[in-house]
Amino acid sequence: MNTSRNFKASLVVAALLSFSVAHAATLTKAEYKADKTRISADYKVDKKACDALKDNAKDVCVQEAKAKESVARAELEYSYTGKAADQTKVLEAKAKSAYAVAKEKCDDQTGNAKDVCVKEAKAVEVKALADAKLGKTIGEAKKEAAEDKSDANYKVAIEKCDAMTGDAKTSCVAAAKAKFGKN
């Protein structure tokens, strides 16, 4: 049954999206620009290949080309910046792209089978976006925890300085502020 196959494919996509993207190795500006150009060229080639197809097969092909480009651009941005926010954007791009392709594939069906197919695709997207949001939330919690630890260590360092007097105390406070990024 085609719906069953789409559902299984959706589960595979969801499993792939649930994995965290590997830490980014930042790119140089020249590498970034070259890769951006390559992604655009690949998209044009992929889209041109769709011209040989007809009907919904062509629509699916075009949607797959767009999805590939969207994910590649998000991954490139993350590779360039290495920011956790861009890592989340990669997961979101994968989720949205997978949904768009799955939804387009559902157009080959009719009636209830099509409705079920679309709902399954949407459910997979919602789950993948929730996983991306969860990763974002965990990342924010880790950042806050690191800030809390740093603040606690700063307070300890300042407290140690309080036992000193004169220039030693001034030097100790200045060193603590510098070490923990306080003004």
Mean predicted lDDT score pLDDT of the chain: 80
d(CA 165, CA 162): 7
User: What digits encode the pLDDT tens for the residues 7-51?
Assistant: 444 444 444 443 333 444 577 888 889 999 999 999 999 999 988
Residue at a domain's end among 132, 154, 172: 132
Is the per-residue pLDDT at 170 higher than 90?
A: yes
Residue 101 belongs to some domain of the structure:
yes
d(CA 78, CA 166): 49
If asked whether residues 128 and 153 sit together in one domain, one would say no
Residue 90 belongs to some domain of the structure:
yes
If asked whether residues 85 and 116 sit together in one domain, one would say yes
Q: Can you tell me which residue has the tokens 């620009």?
A: 33
If asked whether residues 91 and 21 sit together in one domain, one would say yes
If asked whether residues 156 and 102 sit together in one domain, one would say no
Residue 137 belongs to some domain of the structure:
no
Total count of domains within the chain: 2
Q: Which domain does 15 fall in, by range?
A: 2-132
Cβ density class 104-129: b for 16+ within 10 Å, e for less: bbbebbeeeeeeebbebbeebbebbb
* Range with the poorest average pLDDT among 17-31, 44-58, 77-91, 92-106: 17-31
Whether the CB-CB separation of 129 and 14 falls below 8 Å is answered with: no
User: What digits encode the pLDDT tens for the residues 106-136?
Assistant: 888 888 888 888 888 888 888 888 877 777 6
If asked whether residues 41 and 104 sit together in one domain, one would say yes
If asked whether residues 33 and 12 sit together in one domain, one would say yes
Between 30 and 82, where is the model more confident? 30
If asked whether residues 154 and 125 sit together in one domain, one would say no
Residue 138 belongs to some domain of the structure:
no
In this prediction, residue 42 carries a pLDDT of 92
Whether the CB-CB separation of 83 and 94 falls below 8 Å is answered with: no
**What share of the chain has pLDDT > 70, as a percent?**
82
The letter for the amino acid at 49 is A
If asked whether residues 107 and 25 sit together in one domain, one would say yes
The pTM of this model reads 0.59
